[in-house]
Amino acid sequence: MKMKIMEPVLLIVEDDDVIRKTLSEVFLKKGFKVLSADKGKDAIEFVKAHKVDITLLDLKLPDMNGLAVLKDMHEVDDSIMAIVVTAYPEVKTAISAIKAGAYDYINKPFELEELKLLVDKALETKRLKSEVEILRYQKGDGCVFLQTVGISPEFKAVTELVKTVAKTPKTSVLIQGETGTGKELIANAIHCLSDRKDRPFIKLNCSAIPDNLLEAEMFGYEKGAFTDAKQGKKGLFELADGGTIFLDEIGDMDIRLQPKLLQVLENQTFRRVGGIRDIKVDVRVVAATNKLLPAMVKQERFRDDLYYRLKVMVVHIPPLRERKNDIMPLVEYFIQFNNKNFGKGIKRASPECRDMLLKYSWPGNVRELKNIIERAAILAHSDEILPEHLPLELVEEIAAFVPAMNKTNPAAATLDEIEKAHIMNVINSVKGNISQASRILGIARQHLRKKLKRYSS
């Protein structure tokens, strides 16, 4: 992953007009956004009001000692890389500057080329530092093994929409779908098919973080924002700069935080908690939910303005039971996946087994299918997955689908029908607990399972 700091910001703090202006021009040409100050106080104000990456800091300023300026700057933002400029070779001062947290120093008069190199090095160090921070949040598999499987027209429509959306650089996207339908996979696909693919993809689960911490996690905080905030910290929006942020379970985001998110979506700026500087980022937001947001809007648990903003681009992933054509391709895909991972040599699911997989309602969608195939692959001893390798809840559900006994005319029922109806009643009464059901019925568990399998085929 190669990352650039987008339009790096350089703050030149220097009271010599000629040097300040020359340096400004040089670094403007190099593609920096340049700010300059001739007093220490102004420099600190700049840092409070803007995001600064690197500062060239003259130690001898008219109003303050450069080291004090450095200290104050770092109180605001300790990620600023400071290159200290000393008037003459004064090793002691240079050393105390490094001790005070400067990145490096340079003596006056200096060669311009030497300074440019030093600034490049500082930028590279800063890039590496933020890369390390980002890696802590990044999904492990990045964009390498991405595969979305599905042949149904419903799923094809999803992948087509994803391709189109990925090409738009900034549009935020709302992904809707039941649990396990592949919302995270699709969010990752949008990122990986876009020009942002070499930049971070950062995932944040809004329901996993307590409301009072979510804002700081998303937007970072400045030093002193809380009693124990001894240093400022970047939030995920800053870390994701240039990339994509995936806000999972957006329906669970605290309603008080929602206006701040709306503001980022609208003008890409925000402030850290306890901060007064506007921070601008270039991030695409992909949000996901398995809740029905319109209902939450009605209950005033989700803001309507945020909902309308997100609704502009919705990707709806239908549940697996509404796209049965995808079941077998997914089964094949996960069989191959398990062969690779567990060194198994499974070739297929038996015809009887396939039938059952197609009949099942898949409440846990693709995730459930993936887990069931993984389990079956472990249990299977031959190259075929058989019904006995499938979990009971699946077998039972299918059995329950078989038309029940003819209740209107019990006298017309066969013994088999009566037996089946009785068995299903018992199973229902113990909420599907097969051990308990077999005890009540007075037959062995295995025997009961065989019967259930027969009902389901």
Shortest approach of Mg ion to residue 205 CB, angstroms?
Answer: 8
Give the chain's radius of gyration (CA, Å).
31
Count of residues that bind Mg ion according to CB under 5 A:
2
Residue 290 within binding range of ligand ATP, rule CB under 6 A: yes
Nearest residue (CB) to ligand ATP, 150 versus 243? 150
Binding site partner of 150, from Mg ion, ligand ATP, none, Cβ cut-off 5-8 A by kind: ligand ATP
DSSP-assigned letter for residue 37: E
Q: Which residue spans within 81-222 are E strands per DSSP?
A: 81-86, 104-107, 173-176, 201-205
Q: Is the dihedral of CA 36, 40, 43, 45 positive or negative?
A: negative
Binding site partner of 177, from Mg ion, ligand ATP, none, Cβ cut-off 5-8 A by kind: ligand ATP
Nearest residue (CB) to ligand ATP, 179 versus 361? 179
Are 449 and 434 a contacting pair, CB within 8 Å? yes
Binding site partner of 364, from ligand ATP, Mg ion, none, Cβ cut-off 5-8 A by kind: none
Shortest approach of ligand ATP to residue 191 CB, angstroms?
Answer: 13
User: Binding mask 93-132 vs ligand ATP (x if CB under 6 A, - otherwise)?
Assistant: ----------------------------------------
Nearest residue (CB) to ligand ATP, 168 versus 207? 207
| Other beta carbons within 10 Å of 27 | 21
Q: Which of 40, 177, 200, 220 touches ligand ATP (CB under 6 A)? A: 177
Binding site partner of 180, from ligand ATP, Mg ion, none, Cβ cut-off 5-8 A by kind: ligand ATP
Comparing CA positions, the residue from 8, 5, 31, 33 lying closest to residue 242 is: 5
Are 100 and 86 a contacting pair, CB within 8 Å? no
Quick one: which segment of 55-63, 172-180, 210-218, 385-393 binds ligand ATP (CB under 6 A)? 172-180
Pairing of strands 279-280, 269-270: antiparallel
Residue 366 within binding range of ligand ATP, rule CB under 6 A: yes
Q: Which of 184, 215, 222, 241 touches Mg ion (CB under 5 A)? A: 184
Binding site partner of 241, from ligand ATP, Mg ion, none, Cβ cut-off 5-8 A by kind: none
Shortest approach of ligand ATP to residue 140 CB, angstroms?
Answer: 12
DSSP-assigned letter for residue 314: E
Residue 150 within binding range of ligand ATP, rule CB under 6 A: yes
Binding site partner of 143, from ligand ATP, Mg ion, none, Cβ cut-off 5-8 A by kind: none
Residue 58 within binding range of Mg ion, rule CB under 5 A: no
Nearest residue (CB) to Mg ion, 70 versus 287? 287
Comparing CA positions, the residue from 335, 357, 348, 354 lying closest to residue 383 is: 348
Shortest approach of ligand ATP to residue 293 CB, angstroms?
Answer: 14
> Closest residue to Mg ion, Cβ-based?
184
Residue 368 within binding range of Mg ion, rule CB under 5 A: no
206/335 Cα distance (integer angstroms):
33
Q: Which residue spans within 278-413 are E strands per DSSP?
A: 279-280, 284-289, 314-316, 348-349, 384-385
Q: Is the dihedral of CA 342, 346, 348, 349 positive or negative?
A: negative
Edge-to-edge strands, sheet with 54-58:
33-37, 9-13, 54-58, 81-86, 104-107
Backbone angles phi, psi at 184, to 5 degrees: -65, -40
Quick one: which segment of 4-12, 27-35, 145-153, 420-428 binds ligand ATP (CB under 6 A)? 145-153
Coil, helix or strand at residue 124: helix
Tokens of 427: 């199973």
Q: Which of 185, 328, 426, 441 touches ligand ATP (CB under 6 A)? A: 185
Site residues (CB under 6 A) for ligand ATP?
147-150, 177, 179-185, 290, 366-367, 370
Site residues (CB under 5 A) for Mg ion?
183-184
